[in-house]
Amino acid sequence: MATVYLVVGALVGVYIAAELAWPALNFDIPYLTFGRLRPLHTNAVIFAFGGCTLFATSYYIVQRTCYTRLWSDKLAWITFWGWNAVIVSAVVTLPLGITSGKEYAELEWPLDILIAVVWLSYMFNFVMTVASRKVSHIYVANWFFMAMQVMITYLHVVNSLAIPVGLFKSYSIFAGPQDAMVQWWYGHNAVGFFLTAGFLGIMYYFVPKQAGRPIFSYRLSVIHFWTLIFGYVWIGGHHLQYTALPDWSGSLGAAISLAMIIPSWGGAVNGMLTLSGAWDKLRTDYTLRFLIVSLAFYAMSTFEGPLMSIRTVNALSHYTDWTVGHVHSGALGWVAMVSMGAIYHLVPRLWNTELYSTKLVNTHFWMTTISIVFYISAMWVSGIMQGLMWRAYDEQGTLMYSFAESVAAMHPYYALRWFGGTLFLLGTIVMLFNVLMTVTRARTAPALAHASA
């Protein structure tokens, strides 16, 4: 399902990108407007694609590394159906305009409750599986999954606190600056724990497995794990620089964001150096290419992010496309690519067969990498351009550009970004094809047929 949702999520993304370049595509239809589809795109790629990838891989990894079966198959199936019910509900409710108005938390309160039930079932099942492990020590990948599970529980509960005023409408109990801080504590940690810690867990299993070598440094994993999960929580304030929050909030956010480069790069380094003495594998192992390049993008994004949290930089970048570029370098470069590596590793093993086509994996790899370069370059140029145009003065001391002029200047970059996104989408279709062909041609085997797809 992760593979399917990746195509769906990318498709919505490509559509809304097209709407920005060619607004006629809104077609005067309420359900297709950019404002209503954007949350569908973000929820689809983060929670549908990202979520399914996390569930599938963590259920697989916890069993492999604990040398035991899942504590409860039934509970796992409940999480599968429950999560997919949430996703389908999102597809219905969001275009209808049923939204809480809070980014990455738009799903309204009945769905929030369903999410909580699924999530707690998942966490409980996972922890009980770890508790019944046949080895004494808990493997590093599972530390990251557990940290993610704990934090997401906090985040979801607190940020969804709202009073219902209708069956599908509610108001956040927080307001103004307090709501802003809660929202971005949530928003940044959704990235930090769902999209980073969780996927680092994935990395910590699939990189050594695919490379056939142990993780570079145990000690590094311990240190960067604790500093990462402790520090990430403090930096939500960097989304609110120069806004109506007290000064100390932004300063704290910026300072700790910069400090976070170290634990983040610790993870990237640990993963990459696992390949020490085996770099030649990258010449022939295309799955490994995804995994290693994802770490390069991870290192890049975790450098760019702290850079953008510095006030001086943020004064230019905030509200511009640069933020969008940064998000996608992390989302496409790190999250999507490490997931693709994991899925290409996982699928043949789950069906006890070989991939339908390794050549297509390589095709997919290049399509993905090139598409990401197009996307982020377009956004870097447009973002910085916007920032500069908005603050430009002429010799008379008046503003040089009207806002509308800056919008007009964006068009070629919106088109270029759409192109990058489309290339990425085509890559995901190649992957879906490859996975489906692999699965349908496989000789069925009883071995690992239980793990959800």
Q: Which is nearer to another protein, 88 or 158 (CB)?
A: 158
Q: Which is nearer to another protein, 23 or 212 (CB)?
A: 23
**Residue 120 structure tokens:** 């707690």
Q: Which is nearer to another protein, 187 or 427 (CB)?
A: 187
8 A C-beta contact, residue 257 and residue 235: yes
Q: Which is nearer to another protein, 143 or 424 (CB)?
A: 143
The residues that bridge with 172 in the sheet, in sequence order, are 162
Q: Around 189, how many Cα atoms within 13 Å sit in the side-chain half-sphere?
A: 28
Q: Which is nearer to another protein, 80 or 414 (CB)?
A: 414
* Cβ at position 354, least distance to another protein in Å: 35
* Cβ at position 121, least distance to another protein in Å: 16
Q: Which is nearer to another protein, 118 or 147 (CB)?
A: 147
Strands 169-172 and 162-166: antiparallel
8 A C-beta contact, residue 188 and residue 182: no
* Cβ at position 300, least distance to another protein in Å: 22
Angle between helices 337-350 and 286-309 in degrees, nearest 10: 150
* Cβ at position 408, least distance to another protein in Å: 4
Residue spans of beta strands (DSSP E) within 321-421: none
Separation CA 209–CA 140 (nearest Å) = 13
* Cβ at position 438, least distance to another protein in Å: 35
Distance separating the N- and C-terminal Cα atoms of the chain: 6
Q: Which is nearer to another protein, 154 or 265 (CB)?
A: 154
Distance of CA 89 to the CA centre of its chain: 20
* Cβ at position 101, least distance to another protein in Å: 4
8 A C-beta contact, residue 328 and residue 383: no
Separation CA 239–CA 232 (nearest Å) = 13
* Cβ at position 427, least distance to another protein in Å: 26
* Cβ at position 162, least distance to another protein in Å: 8
Rounded to 5°, the CA angle 94-98-101 comes to: 90
Q: Which residue has the tokens 């999530």?
A: 119
Which of 330, 408, 387 is CA-nearest to residue 20?
Answer: 408
Q: Which is nearer to another protein, 57 or 189 (CB)?
A: 189
Torsion of CA 169, 175, 178, 181, to 10 degrees: 40
* Cβ at position 93, least distance to another protein in Å: 11
Q: Which is nearer to another protein, 127 or 373 (CB)?
A: 127
Residues ≥6 apart with Cβ < 8 Å to 339: 2, 6, 49, 50, 53, 57, 199, 202
**Residue 417 structure tokens:** 């970004």
Q: What are phi and psi of 169, to 5 degrees?
A: -145, 140
